[in-house]
Amino acid sequence: MANKIKYGIKNCYYAVATLASDNSATFGTPVALPGAVSLSLEPQGDNTTFYADNIAYWVGNGNNGYSGTLELARIPDAFKKDVLGMIKDTKNILVENMNAPIVHFALLFQFEGDVKATKHVMYNCTATRAAESGTTKAESIEPQTETINIEAKSIYVSGLSADIVKAEAGENSDSTTYNGWTSTVYLPTAAATT
């Protein structure tokens, strides 16, 4: 039976990526990003239609990845260092480095379903710093969240001879791969035959 609904984001992880000259990637070990509140990623790219002979002669689809936001209860210090380029000094103070290079990473997460969770990986992400904001405490404590902007682009996978943006594992996926989803970043090796 297939999922009828999805709800609830959880099990967010990031894995730092190293991109090669052909845009293929290798990934470090995934690190937990606890406290996921919401994720919203919108597809980027437009369809192009070329008209000839008084018809839509050719239609092309531009896939430029995704762009959006990840809201967390609090951005972990490890992510601030590994991805956002902050520096920890000898007194254990995090310092923002204005010349920090852009770090690419894979973002792993899952959405719950009524039957089984669907696990996702976005392969070539970059993130921006979170805004600093807060409000005073009143009669009750209202948790303040932190939001980062994310761009997700493609990587090249030679086993598929394709540029890929994301992958997802669900109820019919290989159980070993599904169960170990956050242990390593899954990279497809070949297309399925029909």
User: With contact defined as beta carbons under 8 Å apart, do 149 and 69 qualify?
Assistant: yes
For 145-179, the pLDDT digits (tens) are 999 999 999 999 998 999 999 999 998 899 999 99
| pLDDT per residue as tens digits for the range 13-24 | 999 999 999 999
> Average pLDDT for residues 16-34, to the nearest whole number?
96
Rounded to the nearest 5 percent, the helix, strand and coil shares of the chain are 5, 45, 50
| Distance of alpha carbon 32 from alpha carbon 165, whole angstroms | 21
pLDDT at residue 62, rounded to an integer: 80
Look up tokens 């609904």; give the residue: 5
Q: Which residue did the predictor score with more confidence, 45 or 83?
A: 83
Q: Assign 41 a pLDDT band (cuts: 50, 70, 90).
A: very high
Would you tell me how many other CB atoms lie within 10 Å of the CB of residue 144? Answer: 10
pTM: predicted TM-score of the whole model, two decimal places: 0.89
Q: Are residues 20 and 46 in contact, defined by beta-carbon separation less than 8 angstroms?
A: no
**129 contact partners, CB below 8 Å, separation of at least 6:** 84, 96, 148
pLDDT at 61 exceeding the cut of 70: yes
Question: Which pLDDT does position 45 carry in this prediction?
Answer: 84
Question: Can you tell me the mean pLDDT for 1-23?
Answer: 92
Q: Is the pLDDT of residue 51 over 80?
A: yes
For the segment 54-77, the average pLDDT, to the nearest whole number, is 90
pLDDT at 139 (0 to 100): 84
**Cα distance between the two ends of the chain:** 22
Domain limits of the chain?
A: 6-177
Residues in the chain: 194
Which pLDDT does position 1 carry in this prediction? 65
Alpha-carbon span 101 to 11, nearest angstrom = 27
Q: What pLDDT was estimated at residue 48?
A: 84
Within a 10 A sphere around the Cβ of 88, how many other Cβ atoms? Answer: 12
What lies within 8 Å, CB to CB, of 188 at 6+ separation is 157, 159, 160, 164, 167
pLDDT band at 86 (very low <50, low <70, confident <90, very high): very high
pLDDT over threshold 70, residue 115: yes
Distance CA 122, CA 154 (A): 9
